[in-house]
Every structure is written in C-alpha cells, then in structure tokens.
Structure 1
Amino acid sequence: MQIKKRYPFVPVLLIVLAINIFFTLAGIFIIAFIESPETKDAYKEMGTLRSIIKQVASVIFQAIFYYYTLNHYNKLMAEKRSASHYIRFTFLSIVTGFAYFFLMHTFLPQKNPASVKTPPGLYLFSFVISTVFITGTSLLLAYLNNLRDEKKQRKILEAQKMQLEVDKAQANFKFLKSQINPHFLHNTLNFLYAKSLPYSAELSEGILTLSDIMRYALNEATGSDDKAPLKDEIEHVRNVIKINQLRFNNDLNVNFEVNGIVNGIEIIPFLLITVVENAFKHGDLQKAEYPIAIKLTVEHNRLSFYCHNKKKTGPKEISTGLGLDNIRNRLDFAYGTTYKLLIKDEAEFYTTQLTIDKL
C-alpha cells in the first residue's frame, strides 16, 4: 500500500532553518554578555567561512534527516509494522546521524582556543547524545502526529456512522409513515371521538389526546435542520402525561414545570419525550411523596431539562439503554460540544439532566 508523504520537504526545511536561526541568535546574544578570551574567539569563529559552511551543511542534513525519518516512521505506524521494523530503522538512523557528526568533526572541526583541550571521549559522547536526540525527536514527533491523525480519523468515522444511523432511522420512519395513511387514522380517531362524546367525556378526551399524539408523531418536524418547535415538543410531553393519567385514573404523581420563553426556539424532535417515557416506564409514579419532577427552563439562549423519578420496586422491565444511547448520538450530531447530558443512576432514584447552549 502506497502511503502518502505526511511531511512535505519544504515545510520541514523551513522549520529546521527557523530553529537553527533562533539558536544561532541566542548564542550570539549570550556571547555578547560574557567577557572572556574564549567567548571573543568563539564570536570571531562564527563569522568565518568554515563556520558558515558548517551551519549550512547542518541545516541541509537536519532537513533531509527529519524529512526521511518522519515520513518513514509515519509509514511504519500507518502500516502497523512490528517493533523489529522500528528497531532496525532507528538503528540505521542513529548510525547515519553518528556518521554525519563524525564527518563534520573530521573535515570541519570546531576551532577551540589553545587553552581548551577537549578529550576524544567527550567528542564521542557528544556524537552519541546528538544522534540519539535528533532520532528520538523524529520518532516522538511522528508518534504524536500519528495519534492526532488517528483521533481526527476516529471522529470522522464516528460522524459518518452517526449520519448513517440517522439516515437509516429516517428511512425506517418514512417507510412506516408510508404504510400508515395519516388522514385515514385521523379521520377514524375523530369519528371515534365524536361517537364517544355522548357516553364518556373521559373516553372522548383520551381519543382526542391520542389523536394529537399520533398527529405529532407522524408529521415531519416543521423547523429547519430537522428540528421541531420547542413549544410543540412541550405540548407533546403534556399529551403523553395526560394519556397516561387517563390510563391510571389520574393517580400518577407528575410535576411538569416550564419556565422562560419557548416560542421561536427549535430542538431536535422527540428528545424530551424519550426521557419522560423512560421515567414512566421504570418509575414509581403512585407515591405522592415521590412524584416525577420534570422541569424545563429556557434562559439566555440556553435550555435546561431535568427529570427525576423514584425507581419501581419489585420485578423491573429489562432496559436495553438504546433510547438514551440514541439521544446521546443525536445530541452529538446536532449540537456537538454545546450540550451536556448527565445521567445519575442511584439505587432508588434516577435523574437525567440535559443542558443545551447556543440554541
């Protein structure tokens, strides 16, 4: 597999050149503040032709060395090669660097004052340290950039996967809608509502509420970007609460509170109702001292939604968690980093807190 060069030569050369210029200027600055015969000799040496040739050769070697090692390490990481490949290439890189420093010392040696005697062992040690440093730097840079690239690629793949799931869900929903004639359903429910009026106000109210729920569930979101008006979402929650109260003879203890101005605000549809339905499914709603507390607040272009309920005792329905996973995926897709979803699952209580900024 052909791996594209991750690090072009010209940017590598420019970065190496900039680093060398910085350290050269720093050296000149330090020498200027140190008064000694050795520093004066060093200052004079910096302006010689030999020193200039040495600096140019150093920049060219470093640029070629980093260009080759960075791209080869990147290739090894992309191809998931074994440790032996890294060891072999690192060894060759160290040998190359060592040979360069040895040749530079042989043909363009550092001119030291007569009073300064440098032991050969110190030169050898400096060669090893310099070679290991530039090779290690190259490996570290390649590794860090590879981590960043992998993280970026994972985010892209997750976004694509999420989009596929959204597209699949929308396709399934459209297919379901195509199998149901909304007009027939609404007309049938309206007929049943009219027929039930003389016999039971409670029954007729339930049919009317069910009609509103089905209408909202079958209609596409009318807002932009696949979002629905918040006021419609709130009304849908109220209707679901109402139909459940009718099912249980108004014995359910539910407190639903809305604060702030909700007109003109849109959110992704069926977001709130998923949390509420989860509370109805798994919560103990018949104890007055532990009502379901549902609170929605809109303030300063920020939505806060809170749902708290006591868990049922005894046998519990099996929960797959797919509903909340779906919520999190949809929130990720629609709001990115501008939301927070906190779920607190305690022994007796369950709490969901959702915050969306920049509505």
Structure 2
Amino acid sequence: MKNYSLSKRNGILIIIAFWLVYFLIDFISNGLLNLSNKKSFFATFSLFVYTMYIVQLLTILFNYFVLVPKFLKHITWKNIFITVSLSFTFFILVRYLIEQILTNIFFNSVNYYDSTPFLYYVIDNFHFASFIVFSSLFLWIVIHLIQTIEANRIIEKEKKDAEINFLKAQINPHFLFNTLNNIYSLVNFKPDLALKSIENLGSIMRFTTYETNKTKIEIRKEIEYIEQYLALEKIRFGEKFFIEKLVKIDNENQLIYPFLISPLIENALKHGVVKDQDFPIIIEINQNNNQIDIRVKNKINSYQKDTLTGIGLDNLKKRLTYYFKNDYQFIINNDDDFFEVNLKFPLYE
C-alpha cells in the first residue's frame, strides 16, 4: 500500500544505507590500522578490497529483491535453509566471476591462484560471506515485519471505518422506518400534524445526510437532532407525552462523535411508556470540559415484546468500544419495570 511509512522504496534505501555504513566502517578501520603500523592510510587497499565491496552489495540486493521474497514469504526451517544456501552460493559464484574472470580480463590479476584447493576456496568464501548473508537476511526480515505490521494497521483501520459506516447506515434506516410509521398513522386522522411531522423529518434527514458523514460534530447539533426527534414523537402522542428533560451543556461547540446520545432516547421512546404522567421518561444530559454524562430512564412498556436493548443500543456499544476502548461506562439497569441506561464517555479535543 502507498500509505506505508516504511515503503518498499524506503526499505531499499535502508538496505543501501546499511551497506554504506558497513563499507565506511570497514574502510576506515583498515585505514586506521595502516596508520597505526606507520603506513599510508591506503597502503593495504588493493583491487580485491574494492571488488569484495561490490560482491557484498550485489549479494545484499540479490537477497532483498530475489531470494528472500521468493523463499521467505512463509518462514520455515526448510525455506530458511534453502535461502541461506542459495545466498552463500550466489556470493561464491559472483566473487569467482568478478575476482577470477573479470579482473583477469581487465587487470590481468586474480585473487586466488589456480592451485588453490576447491574446498579451501569454498570455506574461505563462507568466512567472508557469513556476516553479509546473515545480516542482510535479518535486515530484510525486520523491514518486512515492520511493513507487515503497518499493512495490518492500515487494513484494520479501513475495516473499522467500514464497520462504523455500516453501523451508521443501520441506525439511519432504523430511525427512518420508525418515523415513517408514525407519519403514516397521522395521515388520515391528523393531516396537519402529519405535515408538521414531515417538516421535522426533513430537518432530521438533513442532519443525518450532512452531519453523520463527519468524523465529529458539535454537541449542539446532536442535541438539536434529539429535539427534532422528540418533536416528532410529541406530535404523535399529543398531550399524553410525558418527558422530563434536563440538558446542561458547558460548551455547545464541543466536538463529539455523532449518534452517541440519540440512540438512548430513541430506545427509551420505542420500548418505554410515554403516556404515564407519574412515570415520565427521564432524560439527563450533562457535559463539561472532560466528559459527558447521560442518564435515560423509562418505564417498560409491558405490551412491547422486544423490551431489550434493540439494534440501536447494540450498535452504540460497538461504536463506543471502537472510539474509546475501555475508557467509557455503559451501565444498564433493568428490573422488568424500569429500564435505565447510564453512559459516560470522555471528551477529547
């Protein structure tokens, strides 16, 4: 993905930087050793010192681009053995090509005499190749691990964003379904109130269309949405609509995630009794600079079969967990007569 902070290109730069650091350390240490022996800094630097650096760089690049991506996608002991073996083989063959063939052609010089035993040549090259082979493989694994972690983080974020959008999509049609049922019940008997309900519904739909697409909204907009919702229900029930509402907002422009408060009110009106003057639905919303505290209590409608939390509160709990992890309180008290929800969550700037 293009969003990696450690992209493939950056990984290549790290590989090159690793080789350059190794080259400089080796180059400087050899030069200092020459100086300590009363020699010139470049006294022992021969043609084959430089060819060795080239062989090492080619081995690192071969491991990074060809060998490891092919054999270490799935890390097993067998794949590790094959990768290491092929890496050593590549180092030996490339070194032979450069230091025994090319240097002989261009400089009339070879690093190993023709009489050098084959076993000695192999063992000697294993000695020179060990650090580069194992360090380059380890470096690739680290880079690949970081890229994998970042890829999983991006995928998880996209997955969570998709889940949030899905949960919001569930809430909006759910509310619309309930409201249209209410308006339908008014059309024949109270057409004027039906028109008023449609006006309120239009305001609500503007909110759900434009505001819920935002990551955060001002708390006043959520409160206005709730007021519109209650206005619709007031039209439906008329005078027999008993709500006790206390809203205390210190900062109306405080940003919150949308649809964290309204599902509690929707649930209470759907499953609660609104016509009992002695037991009105209680709505308390308190907000300060640090947190918001919501309490909603209703008498349970005994004629309502699904008197549990419903889809709205189920979705709300999922979103709260996503937004705040464990840094929130969601307490439900249900004694078969009354249903009460207490919600507290922090406010982040």
TM range (shorter): 0.5 to 0.7
Cα deviation 1:303-338 (Å, max 9, x = unaligned): 853324689999961555642267469x87xxxxxx
SS at the partner of 1:317? coil
Name 1:237's counterpart in structure 2. Answer: 226
Retained in 2: the 8 A contact 1:305–1:353? Answer: yes
Change (3 A) 1:167 1:239: closer
After TM superposition, list the pairs within 5 Å mapping 1:181-192 onto structure 2.
Answer: 191-192=191-192
Alpha-carbon distance between aligned partners in 2 of 1:164 and 1:40, rounded to the nearest angstrom: 69
Closer, same or farther: CA 140–13 of 1 in aligned 2, 3 Å: closer
Q: 1:253 to 1:8 in 2, by over 3 A?
A: closer
Partner SS, residue 277 of structure 1: helix
The AA in structure 1 aligned to 2:155 is: R
> Are the equivalent residues in 2 in contact too, given 1:293–1:307 (CA < 8 A)?
yes
The residue aligned with 1:272 is: 261
TM-aligned CA deviation for residue 57 of structure 1: 2.8
In the TM superposition, what are the counterparts of 1:122-201 in structure 2 within 5 Å? 130=131, 133-151=134-152, 153-155=154-156, 157-158=158-159, 161=162, 165=166, 191-193=191-193
Q: CA deviation at 1:68?
A: 1.9
- How many equivalent residue pairs? 298
Q: How does 1:1-359 map to 2 (within 5 A)?
A: 6=8, 11=13, 14-24=16-26, 27=29, 40-41=36-37, 44=39, 47-48=42-43, 50-51=45-46, 53-54=48-49, 56-71=50-65, 72-76=67-71, 84-96=78-90, 107=111, 130=131, 133-151=134-152, 153-155=154-156, 157-158=158-159, 161=162, 165=166, 191-193=191-193, 214-219=201-206, 226-227=213-214, 230-238=219-227, 240=229, 243=233, 255-262=246-253, 270-278=259-267, 293-297=284-288, 304-308=291-295, 317=308, 319=310, 322-324=314-316, 327=319, 342-345=327-330, 348=333, 351-355=342-346, 357=348
Cα gap change, 1:354 to 1:341, in 2 (>3 Å): farther
2: CA distance, partners of 1:68 / 1:282: 67
Counterpart contact for 2:204–2:228, Cα < 8 Å: no
Alpha-carbon deviation of 1:19? 1.0
Relative to structure 2, which stretch is displaced further, 312-321 or 128-137?
312-321
Structure 1 contact 304–355 (Cα < 8 Å) conserved: yes
Instruction: Determine if contact 1:304/1:353 at 8 Å carries over to the other structure.
Output: yes
Q: Deviations over 1:202-238 (max 9, x none)?
A: xxxxx97x66753433335586794576434212324
Q: Distance in 1 between matches of 2:326 and 2:188?
A: 40
Measured in 2, the distance between the counterparts of 1:9 and 1:193 equals 66
Deviation at 1:187, TM superposition (A): 8.5
- 1:307 match: secondary structure: strand
Task: State whether residues 9 and 67 of structure 1, in contact with CA within 8 Å, keep that contact through their aligned partners in structure 2.
Answer: no
Report SS of the residue matched to 2:39.
helix
Q: CA RMSD in A?
A: 6.0
Matched position secondary structure for 2:45: helix
Contact 1:307 1:353 in 2 (8 A): yes
8 A Cα contact 1:294 1:306, kept in partner: yes
| 2:3 matched residue in structure 1 | none
- CA distance, structure 1, for counterparts of residue 348 and residue 92 of structure 2: 56
Conserved? CA contact 2:55–2:91, under 8 Å: no
How many Å separate the matches in 2 of 1:251 and 1:184? 22
- Measure how far apart 1:75 and its partner are: 4.3
> Does the 8 A contact of 1:74 with 1:143 survive in 2?
no
Change (3 A) 1:346 1:83: farther
Q: State the alpha-carbon separation in 1 of the partners of residues 271 and 168 from structure 2.
A: 29
Distance 1:213 1:129 in 2: 76
Contact 1:222–1:229 (8 Å) recurs in 2: no
Contact kept in structure 1, 2:56 and 2:132, CA below 8 Å: no
Question: Which whole-Å CA distance do the structure 2 matches of 1:128 and 1:283 have between them?
Answer: 77
In structure 1, C-alpha distance between the alignment counterparts of 2:292 and 2:261, rounded to whole Å:
8
Structure 1 SS opposite 2:248: strand
Where do 5+ consecutive residues of structure 1 fail to align? 33-37, 109-121, 195-206, 333-338
User: 1:87, CA displacement in angstroms?
Assistant: 3.3
TM-score, with structure 1 as normaliser = 0.54
